Amino acid sequence: MLVKQAEFISSNTDLKKCPEPELPEYAFIGRSNVGKSSLINSLTGRKSLAKVSGKPGKTQLINHFMINKSWYLVDLPGYGYAGVSKSKRLEFALFIKNYLLKRENLMCLFVLIDSRHKAQKIDLDFMQWLGQKGIPFVICFTKLDKLSKKERAENISLYQQEMLSQWEELPQIFLSSSTKKIGQEELLQFIEQTNRLF
Ligand code: GTP
Ligand code: MG
Task: Provide the CATH number for the domain around residue 147.
Answer: 3.40.50.300
What's the rounded Cα separation, in Å, for the pair 20 and 182?
Answer: 32
User: For position 91, what pLDDT does the model report?
Assistant: 66
User: For position 81, what pLDDT does the model report?
Assistant: 75
Ligand 1 center from residue 114 Cα (angstroms): 10
* Nearest ligand atom owner, CA of 42: 1
Question: In this structure, is residue 14 part of a structural domain?
Answer: no
Question: In this structure, is residue 121 part of a structural domain?
Answer: yes
Ligand 2 center from residue 165 Cα (angstroms): 30
Number of domains the chain contains: 1
Residue-number span of the structural domain to which 60 is assigned: 24-195
Neighbours of ion ligand 2 (CB under 5 A): 36-37, 58-59
Residues in the chain: 198
Question: In this structure, is residue 11 part of a structural domain?
Answer: no
Each residue's pLDDT tens digit, 121-142: 999 999 999 999 999 999 999 9
- Count the neighbouring beta carbons within 10 Å of the beta carbon of residue 150: 8
* Nearest ligand atom owner, CA of 81: 1
User: For position 155, what pLDDT does the model report?
Assistant: 97
| Higher per-residue confidence, 94 vs 100 | 100
Residue 156 has pLDDT above 70, yes or no: yes
Ligand 1 atom having least distance to the Cα of 40: 11
Contact 196, 189 (CB under 8 A): no
Question: In this structure, is residue 172 part of a structural domain?
Answer: yes
Three-state DSSP state, 73: strand
Each residue's pLDDT tens digit, 50-93: 999 988 888 889 999 999 999 999 999 998 876 677 777 766 67
Q: Write phi, then psi, for 137 (nearest 5 degrees).
A: -145, 160
What pTM did the predictor assign?
0.96
Question: In this structure, is residue 101 part of a structural domain?
Answer: yes
Question: In this structure, is residue 2 part of a structural domain?
Answer: no
For atom 26 of ligand 1, the residue with the nearest CA is: 143
